[in-house]
């Protein structure tokens, strides 16, 4: 009986603590977001790390720490944070994207290809994985493969932003800026918060590019 009471009291205590900790973690998140908005990435990292002490299995805290580390140019620490995110949540898509992008930036394409190949092996129809495979093909200069992968990705998810924007780049290289504009506009409609997409649309429109012409 005592053991049962102890368990109930312990559980109740944990529930109460969890509620308090959850509120504190939420406050830390808000504080860190404010610091990021002011480009104080070091302060944001310290805040996220404080939150991790209360919620050590929260993948988003590790992911956001990785983003801040990457902004500071600390690529090894960013990579470690992204991998920690994926250890907790293997399906954390932003962390997968960030890790591949970081490897490409660091000229570690072989590792990037290995990462995406493993992703595709476990999720062969994933629009995100297909888009990343297409992105690597684009970086490698293999336009036919890139185009095919992006089209596969969009067949699975017509709003896959990486596939839309990257396929737009393929069409620009193929001297079809009209098709590129259409894809950039679709990507911007899906992610209006991305200034790079808005800039791409405005750039092509300033050049007199309009809707796709018939083949």
Residue 203 lies in a domain: no
pLDDT of residue 210: 86
Percent of the chain with pLDDT over 90: 85
Residue 77 lies in a domain: yes
Q: Tell me the average pLDDT across 117-139.
A: 95
Spatial distance between the Cα atoms of 60 and 45, rounded to a whole number of angstroms? 12
**pLDDT higher than threshold 80 for residue 8:** no
In this prediction, residue 18 has a pLDDT band, given cuts at 50, 70 and 90, of very low
Q: Is the dihedral of CA 131, 191, 64, 51 positive or negative?
A: negative
Does some domain include residue 87? yes
pLDDT in the model for residue 213: 61
- pLDDT for 214 equals 60
* pLDDT at position 21: 58
Output the DSSP codes for the chain: -HHHHHHHHHHHHHHHHHHHHHHHHHHHHHHHHHHHHTT-HHHHHHHHHHHHHH-TT-HHHHHHHHHHHHHTT-HHHHHHHHHHHHHH-TT-HHHHHHHHHHHHHTT-HHHHHHHHHHHHHH-TT-HHHHHHHHHHHHHHT-HHHHHHHHHHHHHH-TT-HHHHHHHHHHHHHTT-HHHHHHHHHHHHHH-TT-HHHHHHHHHHHHTT--SPPP-
> CA dist 185 to 94, 143, 161, 173, 191, Å?
22, 21, 10, 17, 10
User: Is 41 part of any domain?
Assistant: yes
In a domain, 7, yes or no: no
State the total domains in the chain: 1
Task: Map tokens 């140019």 to a residue.
Answer: 73
Domain membership of residue 124 (yes or no) is: no
215 versus 124: the higher-pLDDT residue is 124
For residues 42 and 45, what is the distance between their CA atoms, to the nearest angstrom? 5
Q: How confident is the model at residue 23 (pLDDT cuts 50, 70, 90)?
A: confident
Candidate from 15-24, 109-118, 160-169 with smallest mean pLDDT: 15-24
37 inside domain: yes
Tokens at residue 117, please? 């190949």
**70-101: pLDDT as tens digits:** 999 999 999 999 999 999 999 999 999 999 99
Which pLDDT band, with edges at 50, 70 and 90, does 207 fall under? very high
Q: Specify the pTM.
A: 0.82
Q: Which of 19-28, 36-45, 47-56, 61-70 has the lowest mean pLDDT?
A: 19-28
Does 114 score more than 50 pLDDT? yes
pLDDT, the chain, mean: 89
Please give the residue range of the domain that contains residue 83: 18-106
Q: Are 95 and 82 in contact (CB under 8 A)?
A: yes
Q: What's the pLDDT at 17?
A: 40
Q: Please state which of the ranges 11-15, 31-35, 76-80, 107-111 shows the lowest mean pLDDT.
A: 11-15
At 19, give phi and psi (nearest 5°): -65, -45
CATH number at residue 39: 1.25.40.10
Query: Does 50 map to a domain?
Result: yes
């Amino acid at each position: 009986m005592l053991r049962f009471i102890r368990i109930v009291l312990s559980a109740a205590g944990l529930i109460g603590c969890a509620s308090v900790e959850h509120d504190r973690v939420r406050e830390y998140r808000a504080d860190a977001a404010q610091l990021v908005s002011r480009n104080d990435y070091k302060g944001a990292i310290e805040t996220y790390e404080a939150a991790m002490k209360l919620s050590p299995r929260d993948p988003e805290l590790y992911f956001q720490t990785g983003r801040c580390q990457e902004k500071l140019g600390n690529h090894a620490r960013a990579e470690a944070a992204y991998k920690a995110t994926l250890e907790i949540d293997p399906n954390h898509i932003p962390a997968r994207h960030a890790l591949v992008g970081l490897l490409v930036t660091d000229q570690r394409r072989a590792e990037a290809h290995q990462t995406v190949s493993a992703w595709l092996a476990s999720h062969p129809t994933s629009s995100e994985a297909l888009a990343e495979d297409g992105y690597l093909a684009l970086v490698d200069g293999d336009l036919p493969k890139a185009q095919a992968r992006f089209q596969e990705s969009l067949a699975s998810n017509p709003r896959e932003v990486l596939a839309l924007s990257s396929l737009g780049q393929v069409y620009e290289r193929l001297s079809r800026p009209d098709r590129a504009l259409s894809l950039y506009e679709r990507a911007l409609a899906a992610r209006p918060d991305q200034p790079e997409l808005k800039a791409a649309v405005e750039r092509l429109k300033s050049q007199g590019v309009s809707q796709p012409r018939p083949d």
